[in-house]
Amino acid sequence: MYDEKNTAPAAIEPFDKEWGVGVSGLTEEPSPFPRINRMLKWVKNIDSTADSERAKIFTECYEKFAMYPQNIKCAMTLREVFRRVPINIWPGELIVGELSAPPNSAPIYPEFSVDWLVEEITERPMELRRNDRYVISEEVKKDILDLQKAWKGKTVSEAIIASYTDEEKKGNHLGKGVILDGLFVYAGVGHVCADYEKLLSVGFGGIKAEIEAKLAALDTTNPADLSKKDFYTAELIVLEGASTYIRRYGELAADMARSEADAVRKKELERVSSNCLWVAEGAPRDFWEAIQLWHIATNMIIIETNGHSVTYGCFDKIFWPFFERDIASGTLTREFMQELIEHSFIKMHQLRKIRDTFAITFSSGTIMGGTALDVGGVDEFGNDITNDLSYMVLDAHAHTRIPNPWMGVRLHENSPEEFKIKTFNVIRIGTGEPKIFNDAPMIESLMRYGKPIEDARSYVGVGCVEPSVPGKTYGMHDSGSFNLAKVLELAINGGRCVDCGPSCARWAECGALGKSLGPDTGSILTAESFDDVAASFDAQMKYWCDIMISCINKMDAAQQRLKPLPYLSLLVQDCIGRAVDVTAGGALYNHSGPQAVGLGTAADGLSVIKQLIFDEKTVTGKELLQALRDNWEGHEPLYATVNGERMHHYGNDDDRADDIARFVMDTYCKYIEHRPTPHGGEYMPGVFSVTNNVLHGTYAAASPDGRKAGEPVSDCIGPAHTQLGSHDRRGPTAIAKSVAKLDHARIGNGEILNWKFSPSAVSGVTGREALISLMDTYFADGGMQSQFAIVGRETLIEAQKKPEKYADLLVRIAGYSAYFVELSTELQNDLIGRTELSFD
Amino acid sequence: MMTNAAGEPTALVTNIQKYTIHDGPGIRTEIFFKGCNMRCIWCSNPETLSALPQLGVYPAKCLGRQKCGRCAGACPQAGSPIRFDADGVIKSIDFAEYCEGCLRCAQACPAGAVKIWGTSMTVPELMKIILEDKAYYERSGGGVTLSGGEVLLSAEFAELLLKECKKEGVGTCVESALNVPWERAQAVLRLTDLLITDIKHMNAEKHREYTGSGNERILRNIKKAAEFGVKILLRTPVVPGFNDDDENMRATGAYIRDELGGAVIQYQLLPYRKMGTEKYASLCMEYPIGDRAVVPRGEWENKIAELAAMLTDEFGIPAAAGSGNKLPL
């Protein structure tokens, strides 16, 4: 146990500093640094916008360089962007670099897709959006409209969609949403963590020398070396572009310093200038240069591709050598480095990605999305890694209270007690940050998917939670989202949607012709035992898993063919060694990770069928199916019964339901795990929804767990809740025990367990200690991840009514936190509906 | 002691609450026994007062007689004790005149509109539930808390249950008013790691007026418990206008200092809040405290904190505001 008298700071604040419980968004100036508070205010008051400079250069250069191999064309185009896009340095900045010129702006990426953006601009003005609002100038709008003609038929999305069969389309995001695979169809992949340790130790100059040596060693008369030569040529082109881009910031800062009247600011600008001029090629020499290079190198990944969840890595591990050296030599103070960390968080908060209306209805408030950064955990030898920076990063969140980065704390059985206290004190603020990972099952899972133990121990959670070896993995995490509830619907109704009828948009080409969405694998009308129902579910699962994998493979292949990523390939091992682009298998570890959604809904549905139809025989399959077709109207007693406490529901430490949940999850895993991906890796299943549970719910008819048509399905790996109430009724230990019964290490693409506590349930020392014990026991039992919403239900309802009063109320959504008042109403309601564990 | 048809000892339990964190150390499972011999006007658990099973009625959950009507269908008297409103929604059950207490209506209700307060349970049935969370007790220093109602009205059963807990290595707390003969308490306290008990008021008359019972036996038993050697978590539910005056608080402080020696590990002043109104409504009972003692939330908590600081200063006793502070165990 920790020494209660020891309050010496391991960071800036004492380890047991309390910031209050459930007080997210109630602090005006959270940081002790005036510069940080000023920047926070400045950033929050600027409208998001779009910038067309990148898009214009891409249109011009794809045409101009059309005769080059695809990767060289992409490299030359990106180099032009780095050479030519306008850049700025904003007041007070100590770390510089943006995605595009106006503050809080998103670049445009026409090479992926254009049509939807044009449709948004012409039909649903983004400045009128209630959430995820963008104010775009008329000039930029005109530029975007011009893109459509230039890119017709040339985008990645058009190539992918053209390759889908009708069978695939009718079940995927273009049809009935059994699988949602649109993420990487309309945008880049992202979901990657660069090799920051290497970049910060050798600099771009070191990487350049490595490539030059490789290039010099090639035999240009050997046909096998031709593609290698193209690859290295592309790498050198893009690297030159990257160095130029950083240097331009150095020159701009020098110009600004010359005309700066304020002596203090002048000095800062001079230092910013020398930082950039040095790290354009050189390896950083102190913490400040390192954080500058880390920040701008990441921005360049996002300028190359709009894939989100570009991850910042394990901060305390990456920066420790710089921190230790600077403290010892007195180069920089601890306080100043704290200020730099907080500053870097604000820079992440300024990143933008434009999404369409459909996406922001169900996944709102993500801003950029997936700016993941972890602290804590073990090193490659299994020793605790927690250091002063781990604590400083947690303080930095308490001092900024913005939803970036998406923070993760890695815990293991030897994590210091002080670190846990700091972690849970930050969690109890109620912003939803950080989430916590359990090292043991994360590491075991990485090993099951082919990593040696040293690499497995070095993992980072990419994006939301996806386990990944930083700098060595191209994981295509989040490559699809699979609706377990919809599959159960088809499995109990002969492959047809329960609401099959003329109101369906696909009626004319499907139901009206006597066809069905899925194959006829059985029905509860004819099933003679629960085994029959389980067999039908299994067969239906196999069919849809195959369809999903086929869709994702087409997307994977098209991304490879049309959008190689020469810049990212500089920063992922072993692209340079293999002379292969990262999209084509250059990384040491390659995966594709689609998620299952609606585990609780499917499990409870099967459990209800087993209990009522086959065990107790109080309801017939016909009665239940009719109730679902009628959306429970006129079947109120049955509706109450299936939602009632007599049922065996997942989340109550009841083996009869938990065994079924395990069957559902294992069935999904069995049809996904270890299958080959086109870029040379293997598939890994995940079990989390982010916010797709709300979206998937809109595609699914009423379900036997007591859900009405259109309601969200259950979120992530947690129990179901319906309009009528939560299906977990026995408190947090029962939830933890139920969830722990699943085979977590099998979930290679990660899982999320959302907890929602009322502030009173976790307040005081007793509340904190009980919460830590709850998580310690859950983790000892095999649980993989947890994240927390600590906010009163009344507060959320009040915030819905008076959004102006709660502008800063930050809450946990799924993989991320967001401002509550900026969420869509659908998502707000889903959040209010989740079980709140309250013990008043 | 009650027994079931098989002759096994039973007790009536109204609720089993897991992850209780404010009634004893660590993560606990709290078991609420039915039946109480006091009638505190602020009581927030009215379903535990009577020693018999009861039905609670929740009209908001009722599906209506037209759509459902299963309660009336299950009733041996064809539903005559069940009162519905004009829309066919259940209003109440006439316990006094007609109801035989067979509980079939509640068992038939799919919606939880009729709830049974008081389920007869055996020691093995309770142990099965208690042991589900054993790993959580071990990690947190928690265990089981027997509460009520007045658990010592079921002392023989509690003794059997606590013996099993001891055998399984589960920590034990008993929350009792101690308003029973000492011998009855002693047998249970022998198996108790921590006793949670109250001093509601030092003045016997006031005590009788607000709780229906004097405080003489209670104070005597607290002292005996202290001498007996059991650790005590002492509490006062501070109710405005009843026991929050300085005179009573000082008398309590002095009593703890002078009479209870070092047995009291913490003295918690719990801010009274009106809770459980929906349970009173379900039982068609009036909340005796009514609209008295309504206080703004923050203000009342501040006053309690001041009182706790005063008691610590003046009497050197381990007073604490609320139940959020670590117990020195």
SS3 breakdown of chain B: % helix, strand, coil, rounded to 5? 35, 20, 40
User: Is the separation of the CB atoms in A349 and A363 below 8 Å?
Assistant: no
> For the stretch A612-633, what's the b/e string if a residue is b when 16 or more beta carbons lie within 10 angstroms of its beta carbon?
bbbeeeebebeebbebbbebbe
Which residues contact residue A464 at a Cβ distance below 8 angstroms, ignoring those fewer than 6 apart? Answer: A309, A370, A372, A406, A478, A688, A690, A750, A752, A814, A815, A816
User: Is the separation of the CB atoms in A804 and A465 below 8 Å?
Assistant: no
A464 assigned to active site:
yes
How far does A725 lie from chain B, in Å, by closest CA? Answer: 11
Which range (A28-32, A100-104, B271-275) has the least confidence? B271-275
What residue type is assigned to position B196 of the chain?
Answer: I
- The average pLDDT across A544-550 equals 98
pLDDT tens sequence across A81-140: 999 999 999 999 999 999 999 999 999 999 999 999 999 999 999 999 888 899 999 999
Q: How far is CA A647 from the centre of its chain?
A: 34
Helices (H), A428-565: 439-448, 453-457, 484-491, 530-562
Chain A touched by B90 (CB under 8 Å):
no
Contact B18 A733 (CB under 8 A): yes
A63 assigned to active site:
no
pLDDT tens sequence across B151-185: 999 999 999 999 999 999 999 999 999 999 999 99
Q: How many angstroms separate the Cα of A546 from the Cα of each of A493, A518, A665?
A: 20, 12, 16
| CA pseudo-torsion sign A36, A37, A42, A48 | positive
Catalytic residue among A339, A466, A489, A751: A466
Interface test with B, best of A1, A618, A658, A773 (most B CBs within 10 A): A773
How far does A574 lie from chain B, in Å, by closest CA? Answer: 44
Nearest alpha-carbon partner for A602 in A464, A514, A482: A482
| Chain B residue whose CA is closest to A647 | B110
Contact B140 A773 (CB under 8 A): yes
Q: How far is CA A288 from the centre of its chain?
A: 28
- The average pLDDT across A799-806 equals 82
Nearest alpha-carbon partner for A598 in A650, A673, A647: A650
| Chain A residue whose CA is closest to B112 | A644
Domains and CATH numbers, chain B: 2-50+120-321 (3.20.20.70), 54-117 (3.30.70.20)
Longest dimension (CA), chain B: 65
- Using a CB-CB distance cutoff of 8 angstroms, which residues of chain B are in contact with residue A761? 21
Which residues contact residue B47 at a Cβ distance below 8 angstroms, ignoring those fewer than 6 apart? Answer: B14, B15, B34, B54, B56, B117, B118, B279, B282, B283
Task: Give the count of Cβ contacts less than 8 A between chain A and B.
Answer: 92
User: Is the separation of the CB atoms in A244 and A79 below 8 Å?
Assistant: yes
User: Per-residue pLDDT for A23 more than 90?
Assistant: no
Q: How far is CA A624 from the centre of its chain?
A: 37
Instruction: Report DSSP state, residue B102.
Output: -
Contact B21 A637 (CB under 8 A): no
- The average pLDDT across A680-700 equals 93
| Chain A residue whose CA is closest to B322 | A764
pLDDT tens sequence across A128-171: 988 889 999 999 999 999 999 999 999 999 999 999 999 999 99
- The average pLDDT across B59-81 equals 93
Tell me whether 0.85 is exceeded by the ipTM.
Answer: yes
For residues A761 and B2, the model is more confident at B2
pLDDT at A2: 39
Which residues contact residue A686 at a Cβ distance below 8 angstroms, ignoring those fewer than 6 apart? Answer: A466, A477, A478, A593, A594, A595, A596, A747, A748, A749, A750, A751
- Using a CB-CB distance cutoff of 8 angstroms, which residues of chain A are in contact with residue B68? 636-637, 640
Q: Hunting for tokens 């604590």 — which residue is that?
A: A391
pLDDT tens sequence across B194-208: 999 999 999 999 999
User: Per-residue pLDDT for A714 more than 50?
Assistant: yes
Contact A766 B18 (CB under 8 A): no
Instruction: Report DSSP state, residue A47.
Output: P
- A511 phi and psi, to 5 degrees? -55, -40
Other CB atoms closer than 10 Å to residue A557's CB: what's the count?
18
Token pair of A427, please? 């969690």
Enumerate residues 129 to 158 of chain B having a beta carbon within 8 A of any beta carbon in chain A.
132-133, 135-136, 139-140, 142
User: Per-residue pLDDT for A372 more than 70?
Assistant: yes
Distance CA B4, CA B11 (A): 9
Other CB atoms closer than 10 Å to residue A547's CB: what's the count?
21
pLDDT, averaged across chain B: 94
pLDDT tens sequence across A637-657: 999 999 999 999 999 999 999
| Nearest CB neighbour to A636, from listed B68, B273, B322 | B68
- The average pLDDT across B52-69 equals 94
Contact A733 B19 (CB under 8 A): yes
Interface test with B, best of A728, A733, A795 (most B CBs within 10 A): A733
Tell me what percent of the residues of chain A surpass a pLDDT of 90.
86
User: Is the separation of the CB atoms in A511 and A496 below 8 Å?
Assistant: yes
Show the 3-state SS of A395-409: HHHHHHCCCCCEEEE
Tell me what percent of the residues of chain A surpass a pLDDT of 70.
97
pLDDT, averaged across chain A: 94
User: Is the separation of the CB atoms in A474 and A573 below 8 Å?
Assistant: no
SS3 breakdown of chain A: % helix, strand, coil, rounded to 5? 50, 10, 40
Q: Hunting for tokens 């709140």 — which residue is that?
A: A836
Chain B touched by A734 (CB under 8 Å):
yes
Nearest alpha-carbon partner for B329 in B314, B316, B318, B313: B318
Chain B touched by A506 (CB under 8 Å):
no
Could you write out the DSSP letters of every residue in A817-838? EEEGGGS-HHHHHHHHHSPPB-
User: Per-residue pLDDT for A7 more than 60?
Assistant: no
Enumerate residues 356 to 395 of chain A having a beta carbon within 8 A of any beta carbon in chain B.
none
pLDDT band, residue A26 (cuts 50/70/90):
low
pLDDT tens sequence across A253-280: 999 999 999 999 999 999 999 999 999 9
Longest dimension (CA), chain A: 85
| Nearest CB neighbour to A636, from listed B21, B63, B325 | B63
| Nearest CB neighbour to B22, from listed A732, A766, A780 | A766
Which residues contact residue A80 at a Cβ distance below 8 angstroms, ignoring those fewer than 6 apart? Answer: A57, A60, A61, A241
- Using a CB-CB distance cutoff of 8 angstroms, which residues of chain A are in contact with residue B23? none
A425 exposure class (CB count in 10 Å sphere: 0-12, 13-18, 19+):
buried
pLDDT at A10: 61
Enumerate residues 634 to 663 of chain A having a beta carbon within 8 A of any beta carbon in chain B.
634, 636-638, 640-641, 644-645, 653
Contact B275 A734 (CB under 8 A): no
Enumerate residues 115 to 144 of chain A having a beta carbon within 8 A of any beta carbon in chain B.
none
- B141 phi and psi, to 5 degrees? 75, 30
Distance CA A104, CA B229 (A): 67
Token pair of A245, please? 């881009």
User: Is the separation of the CB atoms in A670 and A608 below 8 Å?
Assistant: no
pLDDT at B280: 93
Interface test with B, best of A777, A779, A794 (most B CBs within 10 A): A777
Which residues contact residue A216 at a Cβ distance below 8 angstroms, ignoring those fewer than 6 apart? Answer: none
